[in-house]
Structure 1
Amino acid sequence: MGEEVTVFDENERLIWAGRAHAYADTFARLCAHPVPVLLDAAAVGDGVRVLDVGTGPGAAAAAACARGAKVTAVDAEPSMVRLAAQSVPKADVRLAALPDLPFADGEFDAVVANFVLNHVGRPRAAVAELRRITRASGRVALTIWAAPPAAGQTLIGRAMEAAGVTRPDHLPALDPLEDFPRTPDGLAELLRAADLREVHCELLTWNHTATAEDWWAGPASGVACIGHLLTSQPPYVIAEAKRHYDLLSGEFAGSDGMLSLPHAALLAHGRMAS
């Protein structure tokens, strides 16, 4: 397809460069939560040719291999590709990025993308590419974070805001013409616009458990956009954000001291025409 890389895409590459191990040690367990239902939605089972797009450390690829699927996985970040290849030796792991994947039309029985659409500059072109490489009657399934976010998802952002951290003007946002409602109807319509059939979208909610220090470790190690923003601050601002975080995190702490953090995501899936 040869799609032009957007400024948003370039910024995502910068944010995630070299972050594979930091992500695997922090936010990866959270993002792996929907993997079983994601694979169910794509009908991934024994012998199914499946592509895991944006594999990260390889959670979905590993789960698909465990089901006996024939797994190919791609990621735009080289450190993620290296880690996934080590972690999931049964998968064919390659470096590639949406919306221009190096596969033939209809090459896969199923294509899954776990929290990948949040990180692409052209979501519609990305879904169209997922459709292109899926065979007739094959399935596409993907997840994104829902909007508005659940309370657990806003904890770190609230602490940073209390410390006076604001999103800088130079940090590119998604082009409004490319954006879509992060709601069940909005995501379902995105799949229908790509000519997928029998589209269904549901809201997934769960409580992610972590220690307060483990949850802070993600942004503190520069993971994701919020971590990139936090670690770009002067040390005294980071310390102030941590002070507010320690206070606010008490809202989610149980009697054992563990945080129980509500999260909400959307799972959408559709089928190719026969």
Structure 2
Amino acid sequence: MRTAFDESERRAWAGQADAYAASFAKLCAYPVPGLLDAAGVGRGVRVLDVGTGTGTAAAAACERGAKVRAVDAEPGMVARAAPAAPGADVRVAALPRLPFADDEFDAVVGNFVLNHVGRPREALRELRRVTRPGGRIAATIWGVPAASGQALLGRAVQAAGVTRPAHLPTLAPEEDFPRTEQGFAALLGETGLMDVVCETLSWDHRTTAEEWWSGPAAGVATIGQIVASQDPAVIADIKDRFQSLCAEFAGPDGVLMLPHMALMAHGQA
């Protein structure tokens, strides 16, 4: 049964594949090589990419010679991922119920997908179910507190006096967990994964103000849903404040250098 959070996520991402590809997809691609390494993805490995988005991890796994399947809850994402990863079997499916047999995969990866599920523990148990004994699971989430570049858009929203609308539910308190190395590692450990390791990934994302604003302007992700739910005058105010704050991150060539931080955890089934 979907939670209110799950339903909100479905609505938020419906029809957003192109806007995501043009804005936040490059940011989310950064952890992919390390994620595949952590899961032991190589030639002949049966790998599942859950929450594939535009197919970045699935395509990279195909390039390594793996036998790749990939799923996403949003049909538009699947439509983009399939041609991006032509060697993969890409289909629509959503956690916490996947259309695969027990022990079907040698490796399972989830790049930021756990940020978008209402029951992360149940989702991880499902990833463990489809992973063979001895196989590996690797996943990323955004860490808390957010790095300064990650917080830029939220600061602009806050500066305009905007708060999260009531129609956008947060994760239920009993389903949440500390977004720290220790908290994320403990979450994986709760599902029975062994030898769990969690590390912090830090990087500067290169983008432009126009590209970075295009995501929320189109309603992409939670920040976009917050922006898009405002009236035009408030949206214009948020954009003005965003452009002012961008000066903190602008390089000499006008490109923004936005510090980001994510957590990557992996363990053995």
TM-score tier (shorter): over 0.9
Hey, what's the Cα distance between the residues in 2 that align with 1:42 and 1:18? 30
Q: Counterpart of 1:122?
A: 119
Shift of 1:88: 1.3
User: Please, which of 40, 55, 60 is the counterpart of residue 57 of structure 2?
Assistant: 60
Hey, what's the Cα distance between the residues in 2 that align with 1:34 and 1:173? 25
Residues 83-232 of structure 1 aligned to structure 2 (within 5 Å): 83-232=80-229
Hey, what's the Cα distance between the residues in 2 that align with 1:43 and 1:129? 19
In the alignment, residue 242 of structure 2 is paired with which amino acid?
Answer: Y
Matched, 1:19 2:16: yes
Hey, what's the Cα distance between the residues in 2 that align with 1:26 and 1:243? 19
Q: For 1:66-98, what per-residue CA distance to the aligned partner results, in whole angstroms no more than 9, with x for missing partners?
A: 000000000001111111112211100011000
Structure 2: 5+ residue runs without aligned partners? Answer: none
Hey, what's the Cα distance between the residues in 2 that align with 1:180 and 1:164? 28
Hey, what's the Cα distance between the residues in 1 that align with 2:206 and 2:46? 33
RMSD: 0.6
Shift of 1:169: 2.1
Shift of 1:162: 1.1
SS in structure 2 of the partner of residue 152 of structure 1: coil
Q: For 1:199-247, what per-residue CA distance to the aligned partner results, in whole angstroms no more than 9, with x for missing partners?
A: 0000000000111111111111111011111111111111111111111
- TM-score norm. by structure 1 comes to 0.97
SS in structure 2 of the partner of residue 151 of structure 1: coil
In the alignment, residue 229 of structure 2 is paired with which amino acid?
Answer: S
Hey, what's the Cα distance between the residues in 2 that align with 1:23 and 1:182? 23
Q: For 1:14-39, what per-residue CA distance to the aligned partner results, in whole angstroms no more than 9, with x for missing partners?
A: 00000011101110000000000000
User: Please, which of 40, 44, 55 is the counterpart of residue 43 of structure 1?
Assistant: 40
Matched, 1:249 2:246: yes
Hey, what's the Cα distance between the residues in 1 that align with 2:243 and 2:20? 21
Q: Counterpart of 1:73?
A: 70
Q: Which runs of 4+ in 1 moved over 3 A?
A: none
Number of equivalenced pairs: 269
In the alignment, residue 219 of structure 2 is paired with which amino acid?
Answer: G
- TM-score norm. by structure 2 comes to 0.99
Hey, what's the Cα distance between the residues in 2 that align with 1:187 and 1:64? 24
SS in structure 1 of the partner of residue 192 of structure 2: coil
Shift of 1:114: 0.1
In the alignment, residue 213 of structure 1 is paired with which amino acid?
Answer: E
SS in structure 2 of the partner of residue 182 of structure 1: coil
In the alignment, residue 253 of structure 1 is paired with which amino acid?
Answer: A
Q: For 1:145-186, what per-residue CA distance to the aligned partner results, in whole angstroms no more than 9, with x for missing partners?
A: 000000001111111111121111232110000000000000
Q: Counterpart of 1:8?
A: 5
Overall identity of the aligned pairs, in %: 66
Structure 1: 5+ residue runs without aligned partners? Answer: none
SS in structure 2 of the partner of residue 90 of structure 1: coil
In the alignment, residue 162 of structure 1 is paired with which amino acid?
Answer: A
Hey, what's the Cα distance between the residues in 1 that align with 2:70 and 2:95? 12
Hey, what's the Cα distance between the residues in 1 that align with 2:208 and 2:16? 21
In the alignment, residue 83 of structure 1 is paired with which amino acid?
Answer: R
